[in-house]
Amino acid sequence: MKNSLLIEKAYHNGSFVESDKTFEVINPSTLKSIGSLPDLTVKDCQKYIKTAHKAFKSWSTTPVGERCKIVRKLFNLINEHRVEMAEIMTLESGKPINESQTEVDYANSFMEWFAEEGKRAYGETIPSLAGNAHLQTIKQAVGVVAAITPWNFPLAMITRKVAPALVAGCTVVLKPASQTPFSAIALAKLADMAGLPKGVLNVITSKDSKGIGKELATSELIRKISFTGSTEVGRTLMEQAASTIKRISLELGGNAPFLVFNDADIDKAVTGAIAGKFRNTGQTCVSINRFYVQEAVYDEFCSKLTAAVKKLQVGDGLKKPTQVGPLINQAGLDKVKEHVEDAIAKGAKVETGGKAITGLFYEPTVLSNVSPDSLVAEEETFGPICALFKFKTEEEGIALANDTPFGLAAYFFSENVRQCFRVADQLEAGMVGINAGLISNASAPFGGVKQSGLGREGSKYGLEEYLEIKYLCFGD
Ligand code: ADP
């Protein structure tokens, strides 16, 4: 089976390039190599940055209608190649093929959204407080953008950055995760076919994330860095970016709570829990990490959730009807094992699962009676584990949910409308799912508070991240 978008090259200045030094990309389902890519260096990175910088002048002054047309064309091309794109994604990330298909379409929805929204970078006219001066604002591209993306959404985390950057008039150096770089190169191929001018998008592939990251974060030529990944790396990039006072957007770790109140529709809550927990084998930054269930409905929720989890099919993502794939790598699997063992040692009961299967696969697991001092309460597990905690009052539930340095997504279930408003107002999170386990949407602002990040992606706010406001004062 030949996939024409599986290209073993990096993308620089409109050309697909090779290198003597390469690294292999492993399929986490089979542990076999899919192919290899150039292992580029900091020196190469400097070249990529210069190229993007050179392309900035003409791209930022290309009429916005033209920029949006190219992004719209890219949207159409991704649509035409959605099956090939999904296959590449499953091969490199292990996610079930239907999830990859959903991600390709979700990723592409940012192309569609920003191809439209890019045309609406409105400025303002402002009344002058004194004299007859005319005051107005215009919006202009920030400059060269560095985008650093993770492996859990190999395409969507890229398009969320690249689409608004391109329509705003920015040029881009993209460094995808070394575990899942093929989706990024496939996107570059389609962008090339869409007629994106040379140097506007450059994709650097490398195993040296630290070195490349530092170069991107400290380069004088780069004016903005947009990162999705761990809080730890986000903190490092923020420190490094301070040296040149860059604009910065960070989508970092979460530790999402999921509250089930006594007034919840339990069947709906179970459906929401499965969707919000097991997508991508629990490896998303908005994955539910802590289940807080109110006393009166605890037993019912626990038994219905356990029954639903037992039905999940685990396996190779390319084989139907797989619903849950492998963990991304050994470190990911080890963390899941550590969290489960720690919870059990502190008194948790295994309702189902609780063991590794083979390779990088782990059983979908439900743990009840989990102690609040367990690792799973404090850190993101990033795996197929449901950890259930009990609470008594609404106040206590909210306090437990907020007891974390993170604040990306939070979810709760209740049929009581007054409770819905009360709880939504008090949860410390950038996004709240109310009777909903899946919340991501290109038209809505995605982002976190506290140590989960800075800025918003998607929506009209996602465009602003790539625009500067310039104030013009016309004297009287
Ligand atoms: P994850 O746990 O999802 O792998 P990381 O934050 O480690 O999260 O990785 C997200 C992205 O950041 C990846 O592209 C990775 O290669 C890159 N990365 C890792 N370490 C650094 C670093 N020190 N500086 C810049 N980028 C990094």
The predicted-structure confidence for 308-365, as pLDDT tens digits, reads as follows: 999 999 999 999 889 999 999 999 999 999 999 999 999 999 999 999 999 999 999 9
Task: Indicate which residue's Cα is closest to atom 17 of ligand 1.
Answer: 209
Q: Is 452 in the pocket of ligand 1 (CB under 6 A)?
A: no
CB burial of residue 289 (10 Å; 0-12, 13-18, 19+): buried
Q: Is 233 in the pocket of ligand 1 (CB under 6 A)?
A: yes
Output the pLDDT for position 132: 87
Q: Is 177 in the pocket of ligand 1 (CB under 6 A)?
A: yes
Q: Is 218 in the pocket of ligand 1 (CB under 6 A)?
A: no
Output the pLDDT for position 130: 84
Phi-psi region of 259 (alpha: psi -120 to 50; beta: other; left: phi over 0): beta
pLDDT, average across residues 18-35: 97
pLDDT, average across residues 195-208: 98
- Distance from the alpha carbon of residue 233 to the mean position of ligand 1, in angstroms: 6
Name the residue of 148, 203, 330 to mutate for ligand 1: max ligand atoms within 8 A of Cβ: 148
- Distance from the alpha carbon of residue 376 to the mean position of ligand 1, in angstroms: 22
Q: Band of the pLDDT at 174, cuts 50, 70, 90? A: very high
Going from N- to C-terminal start, the domains of the chain cover 10-252+452-475, 256-441
pLDDT, average across residues 430-451: 97
Identify the CA nearest to 90 among candidates 279, 316, 278.
316
Q: Is 229 in the pocket of ligand 1 (CB under 6 A)?
A: yes
Answer whether residue 262 shows pLDDT above 80: yes
- Distance from the alpha carbon of residue 149 to the mean position of ligand 1, in angstroms: 7
Q: In CATH terms, is domain 10-252+452-475 a member of 3.40.605.10?
A: yes
Output the pLDDT for position 131: 85
Q: Band of the pLDDT at 1, cuts 50, 70, 90? A: low
pTM of the entire predicted model: 0.96
d(C-alpha 106, C-alpha 85), whole Å = 12
Answer whether residue 238 shows pLDDT above 90: yes
Active site residue 251: yes
| Cα torsion 202, 208, 212, 213: sign | positive
pLDDT, average across residues 260-271: 98
Among 99, 215, 251, 363, which one carries the catalytic annotation?
Answer: 251
Output the pLDDT for position 2: 82
Identify the CA nearest to 231 among candidates 78, 405, 58.
405
Is the Cβ–Cβ distance between 438 and 276 less than 8 Å? yes
Is the Cβ–Cβ distance between 200 and 188 less than 8 Å? no
Q: Which two tokens stand for residue 34?
A: 């899919």
Q: Band of the pLDDT at 97, cuts 50, 70, 90? A: very high
pLDDT, average across residues 56-78: 98
Task: Indicate which residue's Cα is closest to atom 22 of ligand 1.
Answer: 210
Q: Is 204 in the pocket of ligand 1 (CB under 6 A)?
A: no
Residue 420 CB coordination number (10 Å): 18
Instruction: Measure Cα distances from 33 to 38, 179, 181 in Å.
Output: 15, 11, 13
Task: Indicate which residue's Cα is closest to atom 2 of ligand 1.
Answer: 230
Mean pLDDT score across all residues of the chain: 97
What is the SS3 string spanning the chain? Answer: CCCCCCCCCEEECCEEECCCCEEEEECCCCCCEEEEEECCCHHHHHHHHHHHHHHHHHHHHCCHHHHHHHHHHHHHHHHHCHHHHHHHHHHHHCCCHHHHHHHHHHHHHHHHHHHHHHHHCCCCEECCCCCCCEEEEEEEECCEEEEECCCCCCCHHHHHHHHHHHHHCCEEEEECCCCCCHHHHHHHHHHHHHCCCCCCEEECCCCCHHHHHHHHHHCCCEEEEEEECCHHHHHHHHHHHHHHCCEEEEECCCCEEEEECCCCCHHHHHHHHHHHHHHHHHCCCCCEEEEEEEHHHHHHHHHHHHHHHHCCCECCCCCCCCCECCCCCHHHHHHHHHHHHHHHHCCCEEEECCCECCCCCECCEEEECCCCCCHHHHCCCCCCEEEEEEECCHHHHHHHHHCCCEECEEEEECCCHHHHHHHHHHCCCCEEEECCCCCCCCCCCECCEECCEECCECHHHHHHCCEEEEEEEECC
What CATH homologous superfamily does 256-441 map to? Aldehyde Dehydrogenase; Chain A, domain 2 (3.40.309.10)
- Distance from the alpha carbon of residue 161 to the mean position of ligand 1, in angstroms: 16
CB burial of residue 437 (10 Å; 0-12, 13-18, 19+): buried
Q: Which two tokens stand for residue 370?
A: 């989990």
The one-letter amino acid at 245: I
Task: Indicate which residue's Cα is closest to atom 7 of ligand 1.
Answer: 230
d(C-alpha 23, C-alpha 248), whole Å = 29
Output the pLDDT for position 167: 98
Q: Is 181 in the pocket of ligand 1 (CB under 6 A)?
A: no
- Distance from the alpha carbon of residue 230 to the mean position of ligand 1, in angstroms: 7
Output the pLDDT for position 320: 85
Answer whether residue 253 shows pLDDT above 60: yes
pLDDT, average across residues 34-44: 98
Q: Which atom of ligand 1 is nearest to the CA of 213?
A: 25
Q: Which atom of ligand 1 is nearest to the CA of 149?
A: 14
Q: Which two tokens stand for residue 369?
A: 């009676």
Output the pLDDT for position 357: 97
Output the pLDDT for position 186: 98
d(C-alpha 356, C-alpha 281), whole Å = 13
Write the ipTM: 0.95
Q: Which atom of ligand 1 is nearest to the CA of 234?
A: 6
Instruction: Measure Cα distances from 442 to 116, 151, 257, 432, 461 in Å.
Output: 12, 19, 23, 16, 11
Identify the CA nearest to 297 among candidates 435, 402, 391.
391
pLDDT, average across residues 403-432: 98
- Distance from the alpha carbon of residue 151 to the mean position of ligand 1, in angstroms: 9
Output the pLDDT for position 38: 98
Q: Which atom of ligand 1 is nearest to the CA of 151?
A: 3
Identify the CA nearest to 166 among candidates 51, 50, 74.
74
d(C-alpha 137, C-alpha 30), whole Å = 55
